[in-house]
Structure 1
Amino acid sequence: MNVLQLAGALPRDPQFREWIASLDGGTELDHEQCAEFIRLVCQIESRRELISNPDAEKRFHEQLRKPFLEWRVASSKLVHETQ
């Protein structure tokens, strides 16, 4: 999956929306709001810019994808520990 496909898929992922909500004080966001969050963090007008803007792509990976994956791993560990 390339960065554009990933940026399009993540807002539809309930875990990604939960992660963003945890950053935003617990407010649940819909997929459109999550897409806007991605554009704000990456400093772009359209997610298509991730293909041609290396700085935006770096922000996507460093500020969104990697922290989300780390959160997801930590969350799954917590679930297993409580079972």
Structure 2
Amino acid sequence: MDMHHLFTEAPFRGHGAGHSLVEASKIKARALSCSYMTVGTHPDNHKAQAFYEALGFERKDTHPPALRFNYEADRPK
């Protein structure tokens, strides 16, 4: 499963909305029998990269225009 254009507006950041959206997406991916999820970020968006890494995504590709992170759906948290 590939997540596209997932973001929260600035006033809502830091309140758990993004975390909840990603966790719900992980649940949906498992329900659909997806073996992994990917999400891309702009190479300079270090805040988003740290966010996804904190949620269990691993950096897989460091080539522009986007960094790719994979989350192995069957991997324990």
Does TM-score exceed 0.5, indicating one fold? no
Higher relative CO (CA 8 A, sep ≥ 6), structure 1 or 2? 2
Q: So what's the TM-score if we normalise by structure 1?
A: 0.29
The structure with more helix, counted as a fraction of residues = 1
